[in-house]
Structure 1
Amino acid sequence: MEVFSEYIASIDNQEHRERTEEVLLWVTRKYPNLMPKIAWNQPMFTDHGTYIIGFSVAKHHLAVAPETAGINHFSKEIAQAGYDHTKQLVRIRWDGPVDFSLLEKMIEYNMLDKADCPTFWRK
């Protein structure tokens, strides 16, 4: 989590900071094999040099970015969790719960789907 400490400290709203830290810590503990890093000023996790999932803080939500393939694959479950999304990210509102089981599915989907991916992003 040390790699994220400066990012987390930069979040002004204490509740947003605590929620972001909770999610990043959960990913770190659940998937110790993933490499935490900051890129494009955002916390993310990679596996064998390929992107798995990233996060960013916005005024009304924590954005989760599992790449378009992850969003397309889980679009029904994203809606069932009460989240809205774009082609690139899922919005978890600050005043709502985090569906950790959905995060787990997205992360594991990307890890399996990109197991042989030699590039950072899908092509």
Structure 2
Amino acid sequence: MEEMEKYLSTIKNETHRKHLRQIFDWIMQNFPELEYKTMWNQPVFLEHNTFIIGFSAAKKHFSVSPEAKGIKRFSNEIKEAGYTQSKNLFRIGWEDTVDFRLLEKIINFNRIDKAECSTFWRK
């Protein structure tokens, strides 16, 4: 995945880079039907050209964006995992444990909810 490696190379902290690579590898292994793209200088995963989940690296955390509907649906579980959130994303600290079970639920929810979606974003 040359495009993914190009994005990851922009993350200067090697530990952070490895952390995101592990998450992206997990997504590709568990959801091989999803397509990786770098859009707006951020990694996103698509299915039938519709947005499923995106990520963004910051100094103290990385953000996970499943769109506002995904945040609303899993808000309590996001809080229980210890992550902070806004309307459109939640933040996982670089030192925090990634709740892969929660990521799996969010990705599955978006895949099912957007199965008939013909646009990139929900309307």
Match of 2:77 in 1: 77
TM-score (norm 1): 0.98
Name the aligned partner's letter for residue 106 of structure 2: M
Match of 2:31 in 1: 31
Q: Distance in 1 between matches of 2:29 and 2:3?
A: 14
1:3 Cα deviation (Å)? 2.2
TM-score (norm 2): 0.98
Length, aligned pairs only = 123
1:95-110 equivalences under 5 Å are: 95-110=95-110
Name the aligned partner's letter for residue 32 of structure 1: P
The DSSP-based 3-state class of the residue aligned with 2:118 is coil
1:1-123 equivalences under 5 Å are: 1-123=1-123
- Unmatched runs of 5 consecutive residues or more in structure 2: none
Q: Can you list the C-alpha shifts for 1:10-37, whole angstroms capped at 9, x where unaligned?
A: 1001111110111111111110001110
Q: Distance in 2 between matches of 1:121 and 1:61?
A: 24
RMSD (CA atoms): 0.7
Q: Can you list the C-alpha shifts for 1:73-116, whole angstroms capped at 9, x where unaligned?
A: 00000000000101111100011100000000000000000000
Matched-pair identity in %: 50
Q: Distance in 2 between matches of 1:47 and 1:14?
A: 29
The DSSP-based 3-state class of the residue aligned with 1:74 is helix
